A and B are shown apart, each in its own frame.
Chain A
Amino acid sequence: MTSAVDTPADAARPVPPSGLVAVARAPGWVRYALLAAGLLVAFWLPNGLYPAVAVDILCWALFAVSVDLLLGFTGLMSFGHAAFWGTSAYVTGLVAIHAGLPFPAAVLAGALAAALLAVPIGYLAVKRTGIYFAMVTLAFAQLVYYVANEWRSVTRGENGLQGVPREFFGLDLTDDYYFYYAILPIVLLGLAAAWRIVHSPFGRVLVGIRDNPARARALGYPVHRYKLTAFVLSGFIAGLGGGLFAVSHRFVSLDVLHWTTSGKAVIVVVLGGIGTLWGGVLGAAIVVRLEDWLSFSGFEAIGLVTGGIFVLVVLLFRRGIWGTVAALARRWRAARRG
Chain B
Amino acid sequence: MSGFAQNTFNGLVSGAFYALLALGLAVIFGMLRVVNFAHGAFYMLGAFGAYVLLTEAGVPFWAALVIMPVALAVLGMALERAVIHRLTRLDPLYNFLLTFGVTLILQDLVKSRYGIQSSPYATPSALSGSVDFGLFEFPTYRVFILGFTLLLCVAVWWVLGRTRIGMVVRAATERPELTRAFGIDVGRWVTPVFGFGIGLAGLAGVLAAPMRAVNPLMGADLIIVVFAVVVIGGLGSIFGSVAAGFGIGLVQAWGEAYLSEFPIVSQTVVFVVMAVVLLWRPAGLFGREEAPA
Contacts and interface: CB of A to CB of B under 8 A. Distances in A.
B88 A307 contact: no
**Size range of the interface on B?**
35 or more
A15 B105 CA distance: 24
A294 to B, nearest CB: 12
Interface residues of A, number: 58
B34 A4 contact: yes
Interface stretch (A27-35, A101-109, A127-135, A192-200): A127-135
B167 interface: no
B88 A3 contact: yes
Contact of A310 (B104, B186, B268): B104
B3 interface: no
B101 A5 contact: no
A139 B271 contact: yes
B5 interface: no
Contacts, number: 183
Interface string A203-245: 0000000000110000000000000000000000000000000
B162 interface: no
B89 to A, nearest CB: 6
A303 interface: yes
A263 B271 CA distance: 19
Given A134-B96, A139-B231, A310-B100, A304 B105 contact: yes
Interface in A80-105: none
A303 B93 contact: no
Contacts of A162: none
B293 A303 contact: no
Interface string A1-18: 111111111101111000
Contact of B291 (A10, A124, A147): A10
A314 B35 contact: no
B91 A130 contact: yes
B269 to A, nearest CB: 10
A270 B91 CA distance: 14
19 contacts: A1-B187, A5-B33, A5-B186, A5-B187, A7-B90, A127-B279, A128-B231, A135-B35, A135-B228, A142-B271, A147-B264, A151-B264, A260-B104, A266-B97, A301-B108, A303-B107, A304-B104, A307-B101, A308-B101
Given A6-B176, A146-B264, 17 more contacts: A1-B187, A2-B89, A4-B34, A4-B85, A9-B290, A15-B91, A124-B279, A134-B93, A135-B35, A136-B274, A139-B228, A214-B292, A266-B97, A266-B100, A301-B109, A307-B108, A308-B101
Shortest 6 CB-CB distances between A and B: which pairs? A310-B101, A307-B104, A5-B176, A3-B187, A303-B108, A143-B271
Interface of A: 1-10, 12-15, 77, 79, 124-125, 127-132, 134-136, 138-140, 142-143, 146-147, 150-151, 213-214, 259-260, 263, 266-267, 270, 300-304, 306-311, 314-315, 318
